[in-house]
Amino acid sequence: MSTMGTILEILKYILPSLVVLIAANSVVRKFLNAAERRQQLKVYEKSKDVTLRLRLQAYERLVLFLERINPRLIIPRVYDPSMTVLDLRTAIVMSINAEFEHNLAQQVYVSPNLWSSVRTAKEQELSMINHISDTLNPDAPARELHIRILEVIAAANTDLPSEMAINVVNAEARELLQ
């Protein structure tokens, strides 16, 4: 046999083996890529579920915060008959600020617009309390501040800032759940 015949004989065995090797490599690569994509999708879905849970918990905590800073609810919590107007004002301001600081981390899970609404509601509630208490004698009984705040709330034709912010929280939560 000539060298050319030997080369052709070797190629007769090598070429089909190369074709099978290339085809097998291609099939295995496609299979591994598909498996990797399925795995990534599982991880994404799992993280999406965790994120959804965390965001919903943040909405719940913010609603609770906004309810707790509502003057109708905060005054009975901090009011003591022996307090003065100044004492009650200080207790309300401290309570609102403590509640806010306790919920600062929730901003990570909500939109900047929603967080801005929550922060604005807090500031407006504080402003209202401070403004009303400035019109009263600081040494007067706390009951006067309590009554005056309730009168202002009753006379208002709009929702309290905390109630408006709760509506924003609820709207964003509904949007997330759809």
pLDDT in tens, 137-166: 999 999 999 999 999 999 988 889 999 999
* 57 domain residue, yes or no: yes
* 61 domain residue, yes or no: yes
* 17 domain residue, yes or no: no
The CA angle 15-16-17, to the nearest 5 degrees, is 90
Residue 148 to residues 44, 71, 81, 86, 129, Cα–Cα distance (Å):
53, 11, 15, 14, 10
* 25 domain residue, yes or no: no
* 127 domain residue, yes or no: yes
Instruction: In whole angstroms, give the CA distance from residue 3 to residue 8.
Output: 9
User: In angstroms, what is the C-alpha Rg of the chain?
Assistant: 34
* 22 domain residue, yes or no: no
Packing angle between helix 161-177 and helix 3-68, nearest 10 degrees?
150
| Higher-scoring residue by pLDDT: 48, 85 | 85
* pTM for the whole structure: 0.74
Task: Note whether 119 and 96 are within 8 A (CB).
Answer: no
Q: Average per-residue pLDDT in the chain?
A: 92
* 24 domain residue, yes or no: no
Mean pLDDT across 4-29 = 86
Find all residues with CB under 8 Å of 130, minimum gap 6, and list them: 89, 93
- pLDDT given at position 34: 87
* 30 domain residue, yes or no: no
Smallest CA-to-CA distance from 100 within 86, 118, 113, 117 is with 118
- pLDDT given at position 68: 96
| Strand stretches in the chain, DSSP E | none
Query: What is the number of structural domains in the chain?
Result: 1
Q: Is the pLDDT of residue 26 over 70?
A: yes
Find all residues with CB under 8 Å of 87, minimum gap 6, and list them: 80, 142
Structural domain including 162 reads 53-177
